[in-house]
């Protein structure tokens, strides 16, 4: 597997690519109609059609020791979503609340890269 996006840090270890599709949970006919109306659709069928056509989000996942050779850094996990330099999110603390970063941390731990 190869990364989908450019990443220029030589200290990072590529963990894989996550493909996420956001879903909406609808619990009743009343909430279906309300959800469709709030989102500007005439019917739940129109809303479902739009949801079926939504893009999948891709994230390249990395673990990074950071620092420089001979100088330990503060390890982190990264989820890159584009080729532009700032097109990423990162952080060990953020991994507690972010699905992609949490997955990166689990993979890094499974590979014994992170504690």
Number of separate domains in the chain: 2
Q: What's the CA gap between 61 and 3, in Å, rounded?
A: 8
Q: What pLDDT was estimated at residue 38?
A: 57
Per-residue model confidence (pLDDT) at position 67: 81
Write down the pLDDT at residue 41.
65
User: For position 64, what pLDDT does the model report?
Assistant: 95
Q: Which residues pair with 58 in a beta bridge?
A: 19
Give yes or no: residues 27 and 72 share one domain.
no
Assess whether 115 and 65 both reside in one domain: yes
Question: What are the residue ranges in the chain where pLDDT is below 50?
Answer: 23-29
Report the pLDDT value the prediction gives residue 73, as an integer from 0 to 100.
86
The per-residue pLDDT for 25 is: 44
Question: Environment class of residue 61 by beta-carbon count within 10 Å: exposed (0-12), middle (13-18) or buried (19+)?
Answer: buried
Same domain, 98 and 111: yes
Which range marks the domain in which residue 111 is found? Answer: 1-21+56-115
pLDDT reported for residue 13: 94
Q: Facing residues of 19 across strands?
A: 58
Q: Identify whether residues 51 and 13 lie together within a single domain.
A: no
């Amino acid at each position: 597997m190869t990364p989908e996006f450019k990443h220029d840090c030589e200290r990072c270890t590529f963990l894989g690519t996550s493909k996420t599709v956001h879903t909406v949970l609808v619990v009743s006919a009343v909430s279906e109609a309300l959800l469709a109306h709030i989102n500007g659709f005439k019917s739940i069928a129109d809303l479902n059609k739009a949801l079926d056509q939504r893009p999948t989000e891709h994230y390249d996942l990395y673990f990074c020791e950071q620092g420089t050779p001979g100088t330990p850094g503060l390890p982190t996990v990264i989820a890159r979503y584009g080729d532009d330099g700032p097109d990423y999110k990162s952080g060990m603390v953020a991994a507690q609340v972010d699905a992609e970063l949490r997955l990166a941390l689990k993979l890094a731990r499974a590979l014994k890269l992170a504690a």
